[in-house]
Amino acid sequence: MKKYLLFIFLLASILYLLVTNSVFALTVGPAKLEFTTDPGQVLEFSLFVRNDSDYDSKYQIIVEGFTEENGERKYITNPPEASWVEAPKDIFIKAKEDTNVPIKINVPKDAPPGGHFLVLWVSTKPEGGQVAIVTRVGALVFINVSGKAIYKAYISELKAPKIAFDFPVKFSYVIKNEGNTYITPKGNIEIKNIFGRLIADLPINPRELQLLPNTSKNFEQEWKAPFAFGIYKAIFNLEYANSRNSLNYWFVFIHLKALIILMIIFVFVVFVLPRLIKKYNEWVIKRYMQNK
């Protein structure tokens, strides 16, 4: 009996997911918008909204703020910037059709300089207080208000092997933003040998992820090469806004195959070759004495 109940439950769950995905499918774009503006300015743009479901639907715009904690995005209800946003209260879209929703953001004259971050949720709107499944899709809005912007970022943590025996060599580093506006960290990681020759050049933020004020984000990068042996220096060149700073990290790479070959050569030269030479000399002397 339990097996049948479990089967019915799983089947119902699958059907529920299929139905809800079909009925409440929604597309919103663009997924991210960025603005640099002065206090007192009005930002105007449109959100593309498509009703991908099989039913006519009514939607609404819900405004929240967001930040990041330990690399995870956290949403904030009723942020001060929510009052800046003007959007239609009701958006009606027929099945399989789309529309452009006009949005206005009125930046106050006394808006603090630096970064302000909003998410505009396009959400299904239940009718008449009914209990219903709510589907929402968000667009992130990054607003940088001009003024006394503070840019300060650096690599606060770095984890990497001091001695590496195989590829890839993994670098894990944390970039901390102590400024009052968001940044997109850029730059590169230069791998140089002990003679200063450039061996590799790796991007420091290949996905061009943004870093919000007073937050940290963990990044990872790997170095691969056909062969390496010896002492190397990894130079982390961090660039953001018009600033730049660097961090040096020394490490040793010992290629196991090369090490084994060197050990075999060492043993042969130090221990085997002298014995062979000694044996050969004894043989030569013996032959000479026999022929004398």
- For 225-244, the pLDDT digits (tens) are 988 889 999 999 999 988 99
- Evaluate whether 26-145 and 153-253 have a shared fold: yes
Average pLDDT over residues 117-140: 82
Q: What are the domain boundaries of the chain?
A: 26-145, 153-253
Q: What is the pLDDT of residue 1?
A: 53
**In this model, does residue 74 exceed pLDDT 80?**
yes
Residue at 220: amino acid letter: E
56 or 262, higher pLDDT:
56
Q: Give bridge partners of residue 92 from the DSSP assignment.
A: 58
Q: Tell me if the domain spanning 153-253 has CATH number 3.30.420.40.
A: no
Q: Which of 154-168, 180-194, 258-272 has the lowest average pLDDT? A: 258-272
Q: How many CB atoms lie within 10 A of CB 78?
A: 10
What's the burial of 197, exposed, middle or buried (CB within 10 Å: 0-12/13-18/19+)? exposed
Task: Select, from the ranges 6-10, 127-131, 158-162, 240-244, the one with the highest average predicted confidence (pLDDT).
Answer: 158-162
Average pLDDT over residues 205-234: 94
Q: What is the pLDDT of residue 13?
A: 46
pLDDT category at 99 given cuts 50, 70, 90 is: very high
What is the layout of strands, in order, in the sheet containing 85-86?
26-29, 42-51, 98-106, 85-86
Homologous superfamily (CATH) for 26-145: Immunoglobulins (2.60.40.10)
**In this model, does residue 187 exceed pLDDT 80?**
yes
Q: What is the pLDDT of residue 272?
A: 76
Cis peptide before 226 (omega within 30 of 0): no
- For 140-182, the pLDDT digits (tens) are 999 999 998 899 999 999 999 999 998 999 999 999 999 999 9
Q: How far apart are CA 75 and CA 77, in angstroms?
A: 7
Encode burial over 106-143: b for 16+ CB neighbours within 10 A, e otherwise: ebeeebebbbbbbbbbbbbbeeeeeeeeebbbbbbbbb
